Amino acid sequence: MNATTRFVPHGPLGMGGAPLGNLFARIPDETAAAAIAAAWDADIRHFDTAPHYGAGLSEHRMGAMLRHYPRDEFTLSTKVGRLLDPVPDVPDIDEGFEGGLSFRRRLDYSHDGTLRSIEHSLQRLGLPRIDIVYIHDCAPDWLGQSWREQFDIAMTGAARALTRLREEGVIRAWGLGVNVAEPCVLALERADPDLFLIAGRYTLLDQAALADLLPACAQRDVHVVVGGPYNSGLLAGGTTFNYEAAPPGMLARARAIGAVCARHGVDLKAAALQFCAAHPVVAAVIPGPRTPEEVRQNAAAMAQPIPPALWRDLKSAGLLPADVPTPED
């Protein structure tokens, strides 16, 4: 694929849809709708969702609101890799989502399963097209030792289907949506993805994607969308990292970064968002707000002025790599 034709999603700030699927806690329908409306009012035009989020609930909620806005004015992404089978009842908390829809997830990275998943997502969304489709969680953190077997299925199945859909103009781009960098690096060797959604691996606290993935993306003119910019809460005033209690060392590091931000009068969330967005291959950063107020806080954080001295101080203190891109570069 000619690199000049690659689709660039709206940015720099987007909205992740996992919380709208009731991740870890229920959100009333009216709150979810108000959060999406607040995002639009804040000029956010990038929305990400997935069948996995609440077993279709996030897609339903996003589609119900986004149908009110001009379709050509926003980027919409969803994911493949899990089909939803209707069941009479599901546990109240299912794979981390509380009070989701009555469907059971079934892993399927095949060619035909991918096409079926997109068809089902379009119906849940009630929208005429999806811009970006990510192959979801095809990685060791979700699949364990079998992940390479499933990855092979995804490369010969889902990747082939998505490449054809991109060539036919049905979708505009495809890639992987994962929490670790290794599958993305392998996908660049096996296929022609346009972008990756990498969650939690390029943040103020964790730059695991910096060594291999981001340089490889730059070489191929492949974009990155950063999810989990707050590392599940530790960079937003919480105490969790990767959805678990933060290890003492990581907690201390976050506090040290926060102290530098405080000396400069900068909100830690502002530094977290703007750091992620500063890398040349990053097209957008998509935190997952739960409420309209969180949406507005994210928008304000992305716009807050940050003095260049803050980034210099973080580097001199060893809290950021000396050569990492920062907003003043």
Catalytic residues, which ones? 53
Phi, psi of 270 (to 5 degrees): -65, -45
Tokens of 103: 């469907």
Burial class for 122, CB neighbours closer than 10 Å (0-12, 13-18, 19+): middle
Q: Which of 221, 199, 329 is nearest to 274 (CA)?
A: 329
Tokens of 310: 């803050």
| Other residues' Cβ atoms within 10 Å of the Cβ of residue 39 | 26
Report d(CA 327, CA 329) in Å as an integer.
6
Q: Which of 163, 291, 261, 279 is nearest to 214 (CA)?
A: 279
Question: Per DSSP, what are the bridge partners of residue 175?
Answer: 134, 195
Report d(CA 108, CA 99) in Å as an integer.
23
